[in-house]
Amino acid sequence: MDALKTKRKSLRTSFTATTNKLKECLAKKEDAKDGDKLRALNSQLEEKFLRLDEIKNKISSLLLKNTDTAAEYETDFQAAEDYRDNFLELKSKLETLLNKDSGSFLESSFELDVSMVPDSRAARLISSFPITTENYPKAVEQLKLRFRREDLLVQIYVRDLLSLVLKNATTGKNAPDLATLYDMLETKLRALESLGRTKEKFADFLEPLVESCLPENVLRAWERSRISESTEDATSQRSLEKLMCFLRHEVESEEMIRLAREGFGKDRGSGAIRKDCQKSVHKDEPTAATLISSTTGAKLNCIFCDRPHLSQDCQRLSHMSYGDRKSQVIRKRCCLVCLKVGHLAKRCHSSVRCLICKRIHYPLLCPDLRKEKESNFSSKDRTADN
């Protein structure tokens, strides 16, 4: 029994050291997130507790055989229960953390699956793996092998740069603004750098491409900036990093100039605003009638007989009185001057002149024509009476 007690003492010391180490690991946030380290400590704790429990059972059986050792048995049993409680408490905490780690894996797997395009090759590849902790790194590795071909990605980004060169050569003045161009260049160069094609190693190849993407005025400014520096300065030599720095400063300068021109929310000068105000005088007021007129502008139908000819040339007006003509124009929501839809007579800028009274309207709406007809009718009536 003494040999068993000596062995038990050593195991208890080792078990206590493992529990203390595990508690320190749980107290640190970084170590508490390390699932592999937690699993290793959990295995050590379980193995030592099983050995300790086995020796405890042997000692307890020997103590029960002797009736004089009842008090010693109770003391030994209570000490063993303290070790068991400590073990169960740590085991519960470890299982909670490990289950949480497994749950985060399931969430990562779900997010990975959701981010895929439905029914795509990548989505079919991910769905072929059962959602387990062991399969997650395997699925990621398969995605890298299948779709992360660095040689192909490099060709894609270089071809994008070449497409910018061709676009600059063909479009000329219609090329994108400098800020947009800088963002596109920076994005592609950063992507190439992430693939190992850094600016330092491939500057001799990338710099001519970037220069060819620039508009002519920006390229001239870049050459003047480079030449104006001291020739003794090593940084005055051509470098891709310096070119991108120059472009960034140019973009910032343009933004400051644009801000200064805009002022308090005004993006144009007072001269341009004054011209627009003058132009707006000659524009019709936008109304629902204008919309109808613009949508049906191709149909030049007469407002009196609805036939395809100008209203002022209608041959059926001889059967209509002046009041009926004017009422028809108003009913059609037309101008009393030019007979067009979309504005009122007081806003009309037509140069129409009446041949009878020399005022601004067509003869068919001339009040003097009505008076002349009435006088003619009255003279005829007097002649008939005589």
- Which CATH number fits the domain that encloses residue 93? 1.20.58
**What pLDDT does residue 142 have?**
80
Judge whether 385 lies within some domain.
no
Residue 350: both structure tokens together: 């037509």
Are residue 160 and residue 251 in the same domain, yes or no? yes
1 shares a domain with 49: yes
Same domain, 80 and 2: yes
pLDDT at position 99 is 60
The answer to whether residue 232 sits within a structural domain is: no
CB atoms within 10 A of CB 250: 18
In this predicted model, what pLDDT tens digit does every residue of 151-200 receive, in sequence order? 777 888 888 888 877 877 776 656 678 888 888 888 888 888 887 777 66
Q: Are residues 94 and 119 in the same domain?
A: no
- Determine the structural domain holding residue 40 and report its residue range: 1-101
- What per-residue confidence (pLDDT) applies to 204? 78
Residue 285: per-residue pLDDT: 46
Where among 88, 117, 147 does a domain terminate?
A: 147
7 and 93 belong to one structural domain: yes
Query: Which pLDDT score, from 0 to 100, does residue 296 have?
Result: 43
Residue 379 lies in a domain: no
Residues 214 and 203 in one domain: yes
Whether residues 139 and 155 share a domain: the answer is no
pLDDT attached to residue 370: 61
Judged on CB neighbours under 10 Å (0-12, 13-18, 19+), 122 is middle
pLDDT value for 35: 67
Q: Is 289 contained in some domain?
A: no
Render the burial of 151-190: b for 16+ CB within 10 Å, e for the rest.
Answer: eebbeebbeebeebbeebeeeeeebbebbebbeebeebbe
- Residue matched to tokens 């959701």: 114
Domain count, the chain: 4
Any domain includes 11: yes
Residues 185 and 130 in one domain: no
Residue 338 to residue 143: CA distance in whole angstroms: 72
Q: Are 83 and 52 in contact (CB under 8 A)?
A: yes
The answer to whether position 114 is within a domain reads yes
The pLDDT assigned to 184 comes to 85
| Element holding 328 (H helix, E strand) | helix 322-331
Claim to verify: residue 128 and residue 67 sit in the same structural domain: no
Q: What is the pLDDT of residue 91?
A: 81
Q: Are residues 14 and 42 in the same domain?
A: yes
Mean pLDDT by 10 residues, the chain (386 residues): 79 84 75 70 82 81 74 80 83 71 46 59 76 74 77 82 78 71 84 77 79 84 76 55 86 86 57 46 45 47 85 80 84 86 82 82 78 53 50
Looking at the structure, do residues 173 and 245 belong to the same domain, yes or no?
yes
Q: What is the pLDDT of residue 373?
A: 55
Report yes or no on 271 lying in a domain.
no
Residue 186 belongs to some domain of the structure? yes
